[in-house]
A = this chain, B = another copy of it.
Amino acid sequence: MSELRWDPLKLHWVIIATERGRRPRDFQVEREHNGMTACPFCYGNEDKTPPEIFAIRPSGMPNAANWRVRVIPNKYPALRVEGQAGSRGYGLYDVMNGIGAHEVIIETPDHNRSMADLAVNEICDVLRAYRARYLDLRKDFRLRYMVIFKNHGLRAGATLHHSHSQLIAVPLLPPVAATELKVARTYFGTKERCIFCDIIDFELREGQRVVREFPNYLTMTPFASSSPFELRLFPKQHSHDFALMNDAQLSELAMALKDMLLRVKSVLLDAPYNFILHTAPPPHHRPGKPGHWGSLEYDYHWHIELVPRLTQTAGFEWGTGFYINPTSPEDAAQFLREAEV
């Protein structure tokens, strides 16, 4: 079983994923698989993956070769569902059992189309699969947070070429989510407004970091982008929980997401990227009294963050926690805004 270990100097958790147990030489052969025949995510190879958890298909049996989107457990999971989340001490350190979930969302049966190439209704199917998995995993009270993310390209951490996203559910509130929730709560505490709503409002008035506006969504470059051409995609109306979006809302989101991915592909010549869906923790792990003034429904705002992997983080970033970004967010927004998509 994987172990979560606490670093008492850096104050963060690390997952020691012993299932992978990689030795020195294993790191030398790391490269992207692109062989059509061997791809476990293609039609006809459904038996090469663990049995599916969820799928969108016209009709028929699970694991049959007629799906549009397919969700499977990761074959080498960072965290497993079995076991209890018990924690224990060891000298000055703390250790926790690595329970959780690690799933793969195969976005298309087509081996060679990236997410940007999918039709809007196909991307909408992927978003519906995200929503379904969020709603299902919330029933497991041991899971404190779920994060859905996508690694596109080898340099962004994708070891399989066939387009897919991942979901990892963890038994602790992760630091990035904890900071966002705390920030949102503090801001609401003094202003009784959502900080995300205020940022959206400010950026729409300023305009120079806006990339594209849809009736209900906004794509923009963050004022303090930590790397070049970073993007955030917000619903313009306040909404704390991605899983509560209805089909019409997901359909427009699919349009905005495709637009964002196409701009990145066009301006940055299909650069590798990561995107992350930031949303509220499951209802029973939310701070505040649900439905009451001052609860998380009022102060948090879900969004998608996209980070193209154009530069290497290096010793300075690792050693300080500061980031150096050689392209101003205003310039980046202009390039992305003017892209032909």
B149 close to A268 (CB less than 8 A): no
* A340 at the B interface (CB under 8 A): no
A147 partner residues in chain B, CB cutoff 8 A: 316, 319-320
* A305 at the B interface (CB under 8 A): yes
Interface hit among A80-88, A108-116, A133-141, A177-185: A177-185
Distance, CA A128 to CA B324, complexed state (A): 27
**Nearest CB in chain B: distance from A137 CB, A:** 15
B151 close to A224 (CB less than 8 A): no
Cross-interface CB contact of A320 among B21, B174, B271, cutoff 8 Å: B174
**Nearest CB in chain B: distance from A136 CB, A:** 20
* A246 at the B interface (CB under 8 A): no
A223 partner residues in chain B, CB cutoff 8 A: 5, 7, 90-91, 93
A12 close to B195 (CB less than 8 A): no
A22 close to B170 (CB less than 8 A): no
**Nearest CB in chain B: distance from A142 CB, A:** 16
The answer to whether residues A15 and B325 also contact, given A5-B223, A318-B307 and a CB cut-off of 8 A, is yes
* A190 at the B interface (CB under 8 A): no
Q: In chain B, what residue has the closest Cβ to A172? A: B322
* A222 at the B interface (CB under 8 A): yes
A271 close to B27 (CB less than 8 A): yes
Most buried by B among A8, A91, A305, A312: A312
The answer to whether residues A23 and B157 also contact, given A223-B5, A315-B151 and a CB cut-off of 8 A, is no
B176 close to A321 (CB less than 8 A): yes
B324 close to A10 (CB less than 8 A): no
Distance, CA A329 to CA B21, complexed state (A): 11
A61 partner residues in chain B, CB cutoff 8 A: none
Cross-interface CB contact of A312 among B155, B225, B318, B328, cutoff 8 Å: B155
A268 partner residues in chain B, CB cutoff 8 A: 24, 27
Chain A contact patch, size range: 35 or more
A321 partner residues in chain B, CB cutoff 8 A: 12, 174-176, 179
A180 partner residues in chain B, CB cutoff 8 A: 9-10
Most buried by B among A5, A278, A319: A319
Distance, CA A268 to CA B168, complexed state (A): 29
Interface hit among A198-206, A211-219, A235-243, A249-257: A198-206
* A323 at the B interface (CB under 8 A): yes
Q: In chain B, what residue has the closest Cβ to A271? A: B27
B20 close to A150 (CB less than 8 A): no
Report A297-341 CB contacts with B as 1/0, cut-off 8 Å.
000000001010011111110111111111111010001000000
* A42 at the B interface (CB under 8 A): no
Which chain A residues in 1-52 approach chain B with CB under 8 Å?
5-18, 20-25, 27-28, 30
**A-B pairs with lowest CB-CB distance, top 8:** A157-B314, A149-B315, A276-B319, A174-B320, A175-B321, A20-B326, A7-B224, A274-B315
With A12-B226, A22-B228 already in contact, 19 other A-B pairs whose C-beta atoms are closer than 8 Å: A8-B224, A9-B199, A13-B322, A13-B323, A14-B324, A14-B325, A17-B325, A24-B335, A28-B269, A147-B319, A150-B315, A151-B314, A157-B314, A166-B316, A176-B320, A274-B315, A274-B318, A274-B319, A276-B315
